[in-house]
Chain A
Amino acid sequence: MQLTIEDVRKVAKLARLKLTPEEEELFVDQLGNILNYVEQLNEVDTENVLPMAHTAELTNVFRTDEPKTSIDRREALSNAPSTDGKYFLVPQILEGA
């Protein structure tokens, strides 16, 4: 499968990554190689195989609806690049963006 530079730009945009033209070229090859590698799986006949939703053969793992102590705010905010002591702060968001 041949990846195009548009594919790379789109994926980069969705991931909010800014790539240089050189990086775009590089990733066309690298991502293309990965896809080609994975494409080998298409050689397997899956005609009569049901799609798998999960690799673990487990279902119905639940917890009961019992409250646990939350962490305190200072701790919650401690890894944030910017806070006002109460909220996480982010550059202004345009509504609907």
Chain B
Amino acid sequence: MNVTTIVGLEVHVQLQTKTKIFCGCANRFNPDAPNTQVCPVCLGHPGTLPVMNKEAFDLSLITATALNCEIAEFTKWDRKQYFYPDLPKGYQISQYDLPFSKEGWLEIDGDDGNRRKIRINRAHLEEDAGKNIHDETGRGKDSQVDLNRAGTPLLEIVSEPDLRSGAEAKQYLEEMRLLLTFLDVSDCNMQEGSLRCDANVNLHLTDDAGQKIATPIVEVKNLNSFRAVEAAIDFEVQRQLKEYEKSGRKLCDPGVEKETRGWDANRNVSFAQRGKEDAADYRYFPDPDLVPVTVTKERIADVRAALPEAPATRRRRFEKELGLSTYDADVIVNQGRELASYFEEVVEVSGDGKQSANFVTQDVLREMKERGVEIGEFPVSASILGTIVKRVVDNKITTKSGREVFSALLEEADNDQEISTSRVDEMISERGLEVVSDTGALEEAVRSAIANCSSAVEDYRAGRKQAIGAIIGQVMKQAKGADAKAVRELIIQVIEETA
């Protein structure tokens, strides 16, 4: 039997505005002070009126444009009615039949190694609900409701079912998060719930007789990390396969409805949630409290022209213009916008993309990881690292010495010493790291080392080639910036000359 996994994702992303979508309360994650960022509007009191936050709409336009969506010239708001304690009005203001954007795509690296466009069905703007805190003691105590989050601007981005595995879904989410942070529209902090995801999963089966079957669609909720998304999809594939073999239930059988399952990240299983009875019955209708929004063609063109560079574009530019390998471009850009900008500053100073990439992807990333800091807090600034790399590129110091200067400067910074670009050259001369390009001086150092190490020379002549190490060491002590390989060759040459 041939099995194809079919996955579509619904991503909810909180937009980073200062205030909520329909009122002036702060839009800030603040679970420690529940119900302090609320007002009659977001508490859903009667007689209050919502007014649309312009910034929320602008950020939505930027996002949808970057996702290659078609922007509607006319859009409106609708009420989605359901009862839940975190939804004080008894309805959510959302968009139903006229979302502000539709039909876009996001490119990912598919499982087959090729770049693939994952189609986006639509992106629409809505308000977030509050947060329920359930009693987990099992004693049936009351649930607590915090409405700080109620009314946070929320963008829902719905993909077409174009993803073919848990790994691809994770890829899509990682690329989505990267794009959203490059656009500066959301902090995408999953722990704080700024980015949330539901997955729609089913299987297309072709049995040995060539008959095609689709299993019922399952929506998996509570996916709180990218790893959970991947694991939940992989789990669903196996579960749905077994379920089909047992029950033979298919997508279009009478009575088969979309099932909602939760994800238990501790036990790595999905579990049935109570069926959404009358789920489709949200009784949407246009919200009379909010007027429609129109967007002109000129406005759309302006937004497109002003878009920040997308991660995919930046990767390609790093490869084409700075000569980076696909791998290095991926590593740098996938770390986020700030690291990519840091890297570009290093290149600007050093003038060499490849060498800068080596230092950034190896030394900087390793030290950041060890220290557990972001690039913004990293003590060696881009101009300092750029200066180090420039000295390497100009053959003033060796790559090894460059690493030594980098580590030494980092150590000084760790000891609260002020470091600056001028410290780079000071340190090079303090430590005598300049490459000795004066062959006369180097030859002199070699000859005096050979004279001082007569036993090593004898050993070498007797065939113990490793004895040369002692002589190299002597030379390097005198000429620290010398290239060890060149020194070795010179020593051999001199020993053989004097044989």
Which residues from chain A sit less than 8 Å from chain B, CB to CB? Answer: 10, 13-14, 16, 53-56, 58-73, 76-77, 79, 82, 84, 86-97
Across chains A and B, the number of contacting residue pairs, with CB separation under 8 Å, is 136
Taken together as a complex, chains A and B put the C-alpha atoms of A95 and B85 apart, in Å, by 12
A90, B18: Cβ atoms closer than 8 Å: no
Interface contact B142-A89, CB-CB below 8 Å: yes
Cβ-defined contact, B140 with A67, below 8 A = no
A62 touching B51 in the complex, CB below 8 Å, given contacts A70-B36, A90-B85, A96-B260: yes
The listed residue (A62, A91, A96) touching B53 by CB distance below 8 A is A62
B407 at the interface (CB under 8 A from A): no
The chain B residue sitting closest to A61, CB to CB, is B291
What are 27 sample pairs from A and B whose C-beta atoms fall under 8 A apart? Answer: A14-B81, A14-B281, A53-B98, A54-B76, A55-B288, A59-B292, A61-B52, A61-B290, A62-B54, A65-B18, A65-B55, A68-B19, A68-B24, A70-B25, A70-B39, A71-B39, A71-B40, A73-B33, A73-B34, A76-B36, A77-B35, A86-B35, A87-B133, A88-B85, A88-B147, A96-B273, A96-B274
Min CB gap B219→A, angstroms: 11
- By the criterion CB–CB under 8 Å, are B43 and A76 in contact? yes
Which chain A residues lie closer than 8 Å to B18 at the CB level? 65-67
Count contacts on B: residues with CB < 8 A to the other chain: 58
Does A91 lie within 8 Å of B40, measured CB to CB? Answer: no
A71's closest neighbor in chain B, by CB? B39
Interfacial chain B residues near A70, Cβ < 8 Å: 25-26, 36-39
Q: Decide if B57 is an interface residue (CB 8 Å cutoff).
A: yes
- A14: contacting residue among B57, B146, B278, CB under 8 A: B278
Asked if B143 contacts A89 (CB within 8 A), the reply is: yes
> A63 and B85: CB pair below 8 A?
no
| Nearest CB of B to A91, in Å | 6
- Chain A CB within 10 Å — which of B40, B43, B260, B293 has the most? B43
Residues of A within 8 A of B291 (CB): 54, 56, 58-61
The residues of A that contact B57 with a CB separation of less than 8 Å are: 62
Does the CB pair B286–A92 fall under 8 Å? no
Bound-state Cα–Cα, A60 to B53, Å: 11
Cβ contacts under 8 Å, B51 to chain A: 61-63
Q: List residues of B whose CB falls within 8 A of some A CB.
A: 17-19, 23-26, 33-40, 43, 45, 51-57, 74, 76, 81, 83-85, 98, 132-135, 140-147, 221, 260, 262, 273-274, 278, 281, 283, 286, 288, 290-294
Partner of B19, one of A10, A60, A67, A97: A67
Q: Across the interface, name the chain A residue whose C-beta is closest to B221.
A: A96
Minimum CB–CB distance from B290 to chain A (whole Å) comes to: 8
Bound-complex Cα distance A94 to B17 (A): 32
Complex: A80 Cα to B147 Cα, angstroms? 13
How distant is the Cα of A26 from the Cα of B186 in the complex, in angstroms?
A: 51
Distance, CA A16 to CA B277, complexed state (A): 13
Contact A68 B23, beta carbon cutoff 8 Å: yes
* Bound Cα distance A13, B85 (Å): 17
- Nearest CB to that of A60 among chain B residues? B293
Of chain A, the residue at the smallest CB distance from B18 is A65
Choose among A14, A71, A79, A90 the residue that contacts B143 (Cβ–Cβ < 8 A).
A90
Closest beta carbon of chain A to B186's beta carbon, Å = 15
Contact of B85 among A14, A71, A93 (CB under 8 A): A93
- Chain B residues closer than 8 Å to A87, beta-carbon distance: 34-35, 133, 144-146
Q: Which residues of B contact A90 (CB under 8 A)?
A: 85, 132, 142-143, 145
Contact status A64-B274, CB under 8 Å = no
Bound-complex Cα distance A77 to B88 (A): 12
Q: Is the CB of B134 within 8 A of A92?
A: yes
How far is it, in angstroms, between the C-alpha of A82 and the C-alpha of B142 when the chains are bound? 10
- Are A54 and B288 interface neighbours, CB within 8 A? yes
Cβ-closest 4 pairs across A and B: A68-B24, A96-B273, A87-B144, A65-B55
* Central interface residue in B98, B143, B283, by most chain A CB within 10 Å: B143
